[in-house]
Amino acid sequence: MFESAEVGCSVDKKEYGKCVATLRTRILKAQHRLAETDLRLVILVGGVEGGGKTEVARRFLDWLDPRGLRVEAYGEPSDEEDERPEYWRYWRTLPAAGSGAVLVGSWYTRPIVRRTFKEIGAGDFDQALDRAIAFESMLGTRASSRI
């Protein structure tokens, strides 16, 4: 998978321009088809501070139709959010049927950063990732049960 991201790989500007134009058209068509369904699109842009999340989110926003698209950015949880269930802040900002959201800051970031800085051990980290997987599975089950 990472072979295409290796240093030294490149695409000339003309080829890149062709691919981008085609990709943007396909993305817009898919987004417009989404509006006619009960499905939801969630684009998670995660990573550490200074890692380019805002740049990536802006690129998505340049490529997508802003109608029916919600954008949310998450930093450290507020006191109110800390008093709520772990995924409450994400749950309340999920998009409505037929629309999408770009979420800058993801449910993966906090456990990864905490593990990196040794604030949590391997077991707590595994449990945090299991909760994230369960959350995503619940979202997928809910959506697929309506199809």
State phi, psi for 18 to the nearest 5 degrees: -65, -45
pLDDT tens per residue across span 33-63 = 999 999 999 999 988 788 889 999 998 899 8
Matching CATH number, 2-144, of 3.40.50.300, 3.30.70.520, 3.40.190.10, 3.10.20.30? 3.40.50.300
| pLDDT computed for residue 146 by the predictor | 44
Contacts of 132 (CB under 8 A, 6+ apart): 107, 108, 111
pLDDT tens per residue across span 73-118 = 988 889 999 999 989 999 998 999 999 999 998 899 889 989 999 9
Model pTM? Answer: 0.78
Domain boundaries of the chain, sorted by first residue: 2-144
